[in-house]
Amino acid sequence: MKELSARARQVLDVVYRIGEVSAADILREVPDVPSYSAVRSILRSLEKKGLVQHHEKGLRYVYLPTTPKEEASRSAMARLLDTFFEGSPEYALQALMDVSRDRETRIDFEQLEKLIEAAHKEGR
């Protein structure tokens, strides 16, 4: 994926999380955004890079990602693995389990076992 500023990354993350957003939605979701015009500028920049597209909805523009969320999540995960976990899914899983404990989020181990078994059968 193209290199993005931290602010542009925040905006793009909101687009992916919500799916279809206006500049006003971004203002509500991203902390400390300087102004509405700054958000519009970031969205235009993301559009020029081919990362979002817009259409008119009533009197406003709404933006949505150009890459499907599933494809973008795989790309993001690959970057995350390489950057923080030495390319190791096992290290990443350990970190997820640590985060889960910190957030008191319950891990569904039965579902995790099914995913691991399916990946094993596929030779991954």
Q: Which CATH number, 2.60.120.10, 1.10.10.10, 3.30.200.20, 3.40.50.920, labels domain 6-65?
A: 1.10.10.10
Q: Any residues with CB less than 8 A from the CB of 75 and at least 6 apart, and which?
A: 1, 67
Nearest-angstrom CA–CA distance, 42 and 48 = 10
Q: Break the chain into its structural domains and give their ranges.
A: 6-65, 85-121
Kindly report, residue by residue over 40-84, the tens digit of the pLDDT. 999 999 999 999 999 999 999 999 999 999 998 998 899 899 999
Q: What percent of the chain has pLDDT over 90?
A: 66
Where does the pLDDT of residue 112 fall: very low under 50, low under 70, confident under 90, or very high at 90 and above? confident
pLDDT tens, position by position, 1-41:
568 899 999 999 999 999 999 999 999 999 888 899 999 99
Predicted TM-score (pTM) of the model is 0.74
Cα 99 from Cα 10, distance rounded (Å) = 21
- What's the whole-number mean pLDDT along residues 84-106? 84
